[in-house]
Structure 1
Amino acid sequence: MCPTDDHPRRTDGGEETESGAAGGTVGPAVDGGAPVGPVPPDDETPTFYERKARRTGLARLTYEYFERSRYEDQTLRQSSDYIERDVLAFPTWPHETVRNLSIAAFFVGMILFLSATMPPHIGEPANPSDTPAIILPDWYLYWSFGLLKLEPLNPELAILGGQKLMADRTFGVLANGVVVGVIAIVPFLNKGSARRPVEQPFWAAVGVFGVVFALTLSLIAIQNLMPMNVGLLFDLTFLLPVVFGIVTYAVLKTMREGYMYNLNRRYYRLRPPR
């Protein structure tokens, strides 16, 4: 974008020249090369129709907004030693909006590119009169399907003559209810304000336990396709989540002391005591 006569601009030698009314500032150079361009003050920011009249592409417009955000943040940090966290934010329009639109446009373009270059293969239509040998749900429900295959945990009661108290399917449905109930109650138990796993190692370990348990249950669901002994796979289903949970808790517990020290030091640097 070529600078207008209302703002200062630089010559090829790197010097600034004034033409017309003064009031703009020149953005910093990138990698020692040509300057980015004029950064007009807030009261002289061009409107949407002015930008449209210049016929600037989205890539150039996005770059200028990113550079202006960086320049404003750099100026703010250099002008004061006392910086509030909320002062360093930027308005939704145009900074956040342009950034989110550019990211969304990139991913949409990648999806369209992949769908055009690698179209999905369409196989033979399903035969409604032929039942497949292995019936599986969608991949994200494998963990629930695996809970239906926990027959060894269904106790056989001697008082009933060695018979099971309930059918295996009923036991699997109750197991689904218990697991979903535990997942639903965890947010009510963890009421802390921590946002990082290192700040609450216990609940981070609980999360890792749940994720690994879901993966191992998914392996139980496809045990017919696994080249592994079913008994060993069943044991690993309940052993691996415990091991991963303990390791996660131990690692985060050792990292927490140094993390909290750095966090407090950075906090007092931003908000010095009065």
Structure 2
Amino acid sequence: MDVDGSSPEPRSDGGSVAGVPAVPPGDSTPTWRERKARTTGLARLTYEYFERARYEDQVLRSESTYVERDVLGFPTWPHETVRNASIASFFVGMILFLSATMPPHIGPPANPSSTPAVILPDWYLYWSFGLLKLDPLNPELAILGGQKIMADRTYGVLANLVVVGFIAIVPFLNKGSARRPVEQPFWAAVGVGGVVFAFTISLLSVKNLVPMNVDLLFDLTFLLPVVAGVVTYAVLKTMREGYTYDLNRRYYRLRPPR
């Protein structure tokens, strides 16, 4: 009831009065934005986050005197929390959907009395398993009568220690503040070469399943990473001069030297 005793009329602007449900104007169907404005919970919070971020970014662009946009930081709550919760909810939903629609096939139980023809670790350990198959690189010393100084298995374990140690020490060797590969072509080339080596050494670990000559595969395992690193370094080195020129020009245009 209103102050004058009359009954409130339903509003047609998306709101409600005294518990009376909102109705669209006339016989029209509410738009997606109108329905979104009346939702609650995580969906509403996510919508408000993106709209607020877009609005603040638009205001900052219109008020800024710089040519490029300023760096805008958002607080952890609710901006970062809502965004991360939305992304996590999406991927969890996708995992549940795939597990419900495409369940994994369960084969027959393993026979403990027979050894499988091919024994492999999990796919993300193929690179480590491939380092255990570097038998041709283990030298046979003439002073020992053609014998190897260590067993092939021990040689593979030491190869794992060398590779893991190199990966662990790289952050201490590269102390630069570059954020783009073009700013430091050498370390970018090292990274590309390492990724390619991880892929090729993984193929070497499953050489019985790869339709390729074993000797050729062994040569490509160490040749392709070097080629990929050299090509990456050459391309980024060529791009660096133009990148530096554009960066300096943009910097001095934004903040002229005093």
With normalisation by structure 1, the TM-score equals 0.76
Shift of 1:230: 0.8
Shift of 1:251: 1.0
Kept in 1, the 8 Å contact 2:200–2:220? The answer is yes
Structure 1 pair 64–236 and aligned structure 2 pair: CA distance change class (3 A): same
Kept in 2, the 8 Å contact 1:84–1:270? The answer is no
Q: Which of 84, 93, 100 is 1:116 aligned to?
A: 100
1:91-115 deviation line (CA, Å, top 9, x unaligned): 2222222222111111111111111
Instruction: Report what 1:172 is aligned to.
Output: 156
Kept in 2, the 8 Å contact 1:143–1:217? The answer is yes
Residue 136 of structure 2 aligns with an amino acid whose one-letter code is: P
2:115 corresponds to 1:131: yes
Structure 1 gaps of 5+ residues are 6-11, 13-33, 38-50
Kept in 1, the 8 Å contact 2:127–2:199? The answer is yes
Instruction: Report what 2:28 is aligned to.
Output: none
Shift of 1:270: 4.1
Instruction: Report what 1:188 is aligned to.
Output: 172
Corresponding residue SS for 1:225: coil
Q: Distance in 2 between matches of 1:245 and 1:136?
A: 29
Structure 2 gaps of 5+ residues are 1-12, 18-24, 26-30
Shift of 1:90: 2.0
Corresponding residue SS for 2:208: helix
Alignment of 1:254-273 (within 5 A): 254-273=238-257
Q: How many equivalent pairs are there?
A: 230
Structure 1 pair 4–254 and aligned structure 2 pair: CA distance change class (3 A): farther
Instruction: Report what 2:146 is aligned to.
Output: 162
With normalisation by structure 2, the TM-score equals 0.81
Instruction: Report what 1:236 is aligned to.
Output: 220
Shift of 1:269: 4.2
1:104-147 deviation line (CA, Å, top 9, x unaligned): 11111111111111111111111111111111111111111111
Structure 1 pair 205–130 and aligned structure 2 pair: CA distance change class (3 A): same
Q: Which of 45, 48, 69 is 1:64 aligned to?
A: 48
Alignment RMSD: 2.5
Shift of 1:176: 1.1
Instruction: Report what 2:128 is aligned to.
Output: 144
Shift of 1:248: 0.7
Residue 259 of structure 1 aligns with an amino acid whose one-letter code is: Y
